[in-house]
Amino acid sequence: MSRKPMMAGNWKMYKTPAETHAFFEAFKPLMANVEHCDIVMCPPFPNLHAAVQETEGSRIAIGGQNLYWGKEGAVTGEVSGHMLQAVGCKFVIIAHSERRQYFGENEADVVRKAQAALEFGLTPIVCVGERLEEREGNRTEQVLGEQIDGGLAPLTGDQFAKIVIAYEPVWAIGTGKTATPELAAAAHRFIRGRVAAKFGEAAAAGVRILYGGSVKPDNVKKLMAEEEIDGALVGGASLDPASFAGVVQY
Ligand code: PGA
């Protein structure tokens, strides 16, 4: 099965609305002829409106970096899928390792958040990945297996068919240490096998699995040469228009 590549940027806690405007003014023309992959950018909440306006009529879709379940309510400081949809988002990142690490997000959150995203027409980009000590302790597959069984397996087949998975080894995020293409591909194969056991071969063959962790214009080509790698979730290198364009045009 052929899976359309996806390149998604994650600005994390960077950029103001004015900087968002400047980014897209430079980035949009660079994307004018790009058709080989889907392009997504996930700015911080206060920039979503500007980002949606800047990218209107282009092939660039906008996503949130997090959401809370439910439509609205007395939940100070949170943002719902309904609000992301209303502002024009099409995607949302769920359970990024920084959310797992600093805010204690767990598999129960993944299920609730993925279901809430789908309810409001957003495509969840669900992050999984092992920490350094887990890889060094030979526990990578155990950790990935638990994340998939706990966070994804509770979804229905219809729900699963609409999600994107991002494999992000925590030790490779923001560290400049990229997983080798072979190592990333092996993890992707494991993930695909694990979801096949629950959702079947066709669903596993169809799901896009992005790699994330220090993806840059100069290492993306080798990663994308791996059949198992369907795109990238890009932090640092998505902040600069030329650099993210270099990743998209691998
Ligand atoms: P990085 O971040 O590209 O800066 O390593 C990736 C991510 O956290 O999604």
Burial 135-155, CB ≥16 within 10 A → b, else e: beeeebbebbbebbeebbebb
Instruction: Specify the pLDDT at position 225.
Output: 97
Instruction: Specify the pLDDT at position 1.
Output: 63
Residue nearest to atom 2 of ligand 1 (CA): 235
Instruction: Specify the pLDDT at position 85.
Output: 98
Phi-psi region at 231: left, alpha or beta (left = phi > 0; alpha = psi -120 to 50): left
Candidate list 130, 134, 168, 228, residue with the active-site label: 168
Residue 105: active-site member:
no
Q: SS3 for 75?
A: coil
Task: Work out the average pLDDT over 108-122.
Answer: 98
Q: Which of 6, 7, 10, 239 to mutate to test the pocket of ligand 1 (most atoms within 8 A of CB)?
A: 10
Candidates 214, 209, 249, 12; CA nearest to 127 is 209
Instruction: Specify the pLDDT at position 175.
Output: 86
| Total residue length of the chain | 250
Instruction: Say what the alpha-carbon torsion angle 168, 170, 173, 177 is, to the nearest 10 degrees.
Output: -100
Instruction: Specify the pLDDT at position 176.
Output: 82
Would you say the CB of residue 8 lies under 6 angstroms from ligand 1? no
Residue 106 has pLDDT above 80, yes or no: yes
The model's pTM: 0.97
Residue 179 has pLDDT above 90, yes or no: no
Candidate list 96, 107, 134, 188, residue with the active-site label: 96
**How many angstroms separate the CA atoms of 167 and 150, rounded?**
16
Atom number in ligand 1 closest to CA 175 = 5
pLDDT for 194-247, tens place per residue? Answer: 999 999 999 999 999 999 999 999 999 999 999 999 999 999 999 999 999 999
Residue 155 has pLDDT above 80, yes or no: yes
pLDDT for 11-35, tens place per residue? Answer: 999 999 999 999 999 999 999 999 9
Would you say the CB of residue 9 lies under 6 angstroms from ligand 1? no
